[in-house]
Each structure stands twice: as structure tokens, then as C-alpha cells.
Amino acid sequence: MNPTPSKYIRPGSQRGILHAIALALPVAILAALTAFAAGDTTIYSDTLLGSGSALHGTTVDSSATHAGGTAGATWTAAGSYNETATGTIGTSTTTQGAYLPFTPQAGHVYTLTATLEYLGAVPSNWAALGFQTQADVAHGAFHDASGAAYAWTLLRKSGGGQPQFFGGPDTASGGNFATASQSGLQTVTITLDATGASWTSHATINGLDSATVTYGTNPTDIAYVGFGGVGTTSNTTHFSLSATGGSTPTYAGWATTNGVSNNPNEDTNHDGVQNGIAYFMNATGLATNPGITGNTVTWPNGGNISATEYGTQFVVETSPDLVNWTPVAIGDLTTNTSGPGGALTYTLPPGAGGGKLFARLVVTPH
């Protein structure tokens, strides 16, 4: 009963539809489905382990363009930092730092964690972890450059008066938070909560909590996240930054931001990709519809619609005749992962009557 042109529009609903057309040849059907739960999203993760080569210039182990992070980011690090089998060891006799680009965004709770150990001989020196306004690799003391450090901890080799946590800038708002010395390898977790009108931060080391710092002026000038050390050597491993929260994208918001019409059925920039499909792929410029490779078609999931929305905001449909369309069961998808960098992959099954089968993506965005 549906009209068959590729620009099919169902009145009263907002749809972006792509027809991917292929002959149905015998293929194996793969039904491996991966669905990622929403919630805590990893922005950066790096074991900081390696075989002794320099950290500087390496691509972080895993990354996502999400909540102020950048997919494919590379470390800006002092040349004295090397990824070794036991962690990233800094060997500078003065100070050293290592940073990834990161800008906090309101509406998220960020969790920064790493395992730190100060290995130097001088008890008063330290290893540090936190947020920075600049990637100043020569200032591993973390607060040497004025106004540089926010929400950061330091861990000394031994003795009292440490660890310490500072909300910042630099050594403002904070200080000692543990009555006992926390020597040796310690897992440090720093929380930066940017959900309220006034952002807050606090740290946890080895089960001990710092006081929570509430900012009078939110540290929106943070531009990096990283670690550092002052003194002889320090060891850092298992660095990660994740975020929860944030507003869920909407088609209307995306359309406004990108200057396209509020109708997902339209193709505002006349590139052959309807707005709704472009929204799914987060294609903000000229785009092309995916073709069939083998018997498989893959739509990139650009991060606007979670994989968990399959059957609600998007669905793959097949048809033997471009007239009658049948939704593909979620279990029959090859891949369905959330973006950015996600993918929706469907492998056309064999044995279609008449030797033809058509597949399309239908996007009904919120």
C-alpha cells in the first residue's frame, strides 16, 4: 500500500528513508548483535603500558568525541615520559607533564582516574593527576604555570601531609584530606561535576574522600586533562576519563545547529541523503548513502541516536518489491553500536523470491 518512490513520505510522521538496493545472493546470515548500555561513557582510556617508547605523540588507546573529548587524540607529553611494561615512567629530574585535549561541558559528571606512584627519592616531591588550562609539559608540578590547574591531586613518596586535593585554580580550595600517609601505588579518582549552576569537584584515594569543592567561578577554561610529576621519577598507569549525563540529542536541535529544515524527509543540501539519515549518521556536510559491499550495507552511527533506540527511532526494513516492507528483527542485524564511531550493519539474507531484495534505513527521530 505504500508508494514506492525513494522519496516516500508518510504524512504525519517524520522519516528519513534510504533505499539500498542489491541482488540477493546466497550469503551467511550473521546475527551477532552488540548493544552498548547508556550511562557512563568513556572519553579516554589508556593503560599507559608499553615497551619503553615515548608517550609523546602517541594516540590514546581508546577515545571518543564525546562530552568535550576528541576521538583519536594524541598525547602531548614531556620527552622524559616513556610507556613501559609497568607504567609510564617519567625520568626528568625536574618536572614533567602529559596531556590530552579536553573541554568540560555543562551537564556532565566527569570521572578521571589513574593509578599513580611517586618513585623519587625526595619525599616532598610528588606525582599529580587532574585538569589543566594548558598543555605545559614542563610544569609537571601541575600548578607552576599560574591559573593552570583545576581539580587535581598530588601524591608524595611517603610521610604525612599527603595526598592532597585542590579544586583550583592551582592550590586554591583544598589541601590535605587524608590523616594517614598514602604511600606506594594508589588509584586516584577525581570527580568534576558540571551538572549544577556551580560546578563541584572532589577526589578519592584508596577509599579516602576529600572535601567537596564548590566553584565560585566554574573552570570553563579547562582545556586539557592529564598527569604530571615533580622530582625524579613517577609511575602512572590505567588512565581514564569518562562522563555521565548530558542532554540527549534531538533532531530539532541538530537541524537548527546545522541549518537544515525541521523535516527529516527533506534533503536540504540536495546531496541525495535525506536529513533524517544524515542525522543518524551525524553527517553535517555533504554526504553519500552507503552502498552494498558483498551483501552487506553499513550505516555509520554518528552518535545522535543510541543503538538502544533500534525499533523506536530507527529500523532497517527489507522488501522484495519496493512495495511491501518488513522490519528486520534486532537479532538479525550484524552490528548495531552507538556512536560516535558506531555502526548499523545488515547482511541481506539469501533466497529471496525473484532473486531480489531491497533494504532501507528508516529514521524516525525524536
Footprint of Ca ion on this chain (CB under 5 A)? 46, 61, 267, 269, 271, 273
Q: How far is the CB of 47 from Ca ion (least distance, A)?
A: 6
Residue type, 9: I
Q: How far is the CB of 112 from Ca ion (least distance, A)?
A: 16
- 45 versus 171: smaller Cβ distance to Ca ion: 45
Q: How far is the CB of 49 from Ca ion (least distance, A)?
A: 7
Q: Which long-range contacts (CB under 8 A, 24 or more apart) does 177-186 make?
A: 177/203, 177/208, 177/209, 177/210, 177/211, 178/205, 178/208, 180/208, 182/155, 182/206, 182/208, 183/156, 183/157, 183/158, 183/159, 184/117, 185/115, 185/116, 185/117, 185/235, 186/115, 186/116, 186/117, 186/155
What does the alpha-carbon distance between residue 71 and residue 74 come to, in Å, rounded to a whole number?
Answer: 9
Q: How far is the CB of 279 from Ca ion (least distance, A)?
A: 10
| Residue 181: all three cell numbers together | 600517609
- 61 versus 321: smaller Cβ distance to Ca ion: 61
- 221 versus 271: smaller Cβ distance to Ca ion: 271
- 259 versus 354: smaller Cβ distance to Ca ion: 259
- 40 versus 61: smaller Cβ distance to Ca ion: 61
Residue environment code for 171-197, b if the CB has 16+ CB neighbours within 10 A, otherwise e: ebbbeebbeebbbebbebbbbbbbeee
